[in-house]
Structure 1
Amino acid sequence: MTVLAPTRPRPTPELIAKYDGRAPRYTSYPTAVQFTPQVQEDTYRTWLEALPAGDAVSLYVHVPFCSRLCWYCGCNTRAVNRHEPIGEYVRYLLREMGMLEAALPTKLGASALHFGGGTPNMLAIEELDAIVAELRRMFDFEDGAEIAAELDPASLTRDWVLAAGRNGLNRASLGVQTLDPKVQEAVNR
């Protein structure tokens, strides 16, 4: 008996032409390509005011810091070797969250919260606690809301995992294409 590997359909020139283009790499909405110089404060406020009161939203918190840069990464991030820039970023983030709350038409529900980056586990535990507490105050989180974070296991600590769990984290993702040590070393992981 011979077992053959399944064959993959070959992409047609039509499919390649249709999908061969630049696209945002993350799931926030509006996406980065929609923020142009023509988008002003009133544009953003109009988008916020149009959110249906009965629908839950998904929230995304970008943490643009890493302990080192992976050479394949295309995310908006930078490597830091001291915590001060992260703390300053969190202070501004909390301030921005207050401005967002003032612009929302009503207190909305939240079905998901995703911490992306960079490396969200670069946040100090107190900073993670403060961000989640503020978001829980601002939004009505649904029971069973997905709370996720992209994590770098090289800098992940047991205390951070416990704090994330205490804050409702129920999903984690690791941004690796392979666990082959040679490949990891080659991409600075």
Structure 2
Amino acid sequence: MDLILETERLILRPLELSDVDDFFLMNDNPNVNRYLRYPLKSKIEANQYIQKIINEYKKNNMGRFAVILKETNKLIGFSGLKFRDTLENNYINFYDLGYRFSEEHWHKGFATESSLAWLEYGFNTMKLPTIHACAISENIGSNKVLKKIGFEFTNQYTVNNSIHNWYKFENKNFK
């Protein structure tokens, strides 16, 4: 996959198997894993997860991308649009926005910055009519980011005994 997006502080590029060390380091933190459905517990699992994302690039020509901080050229998280072909909150065959960052990079605007780049790409280049997102209701930070960038809360649903907030953003509302 050749797509690379840039923002003021970030480079968004496809994840590679060579990212596994930094990717695992990000995920090897209980605060990062706190709201994940399936936390990664080893480098082997991190490698498998990256391979799954690479396969999604091949299948859907889209997926979560590495977020590289320009200042250090280091992976600080991932962010991107993912095509979901399995049922989630009574939806199927849709794109959702997702992100995850190393704890030391929280509260610095990176989730907002990368998400806005993906919204612009999704709406203006891919011509998507709607992009969805979800966050566990207890995850104050993620819910705050989604609302801040313009997602509309639509409902709550339960997965693995956790209440999730469901959001949508329609192309006609993107500025």
- Give the TM bin, normalised by the shorter chain: 0.3 to 0.5
| TM-score, normalised via structure 2 length | 0.32
Which structure has more relative contact order (CA 8 Å, sep 6+)? It is 1
Higher normalized strand content (fraction of residues): 2
| TM-score, normalised via structure 1 length | 0.30
Select the structure of larger CA radius of gyration.
1
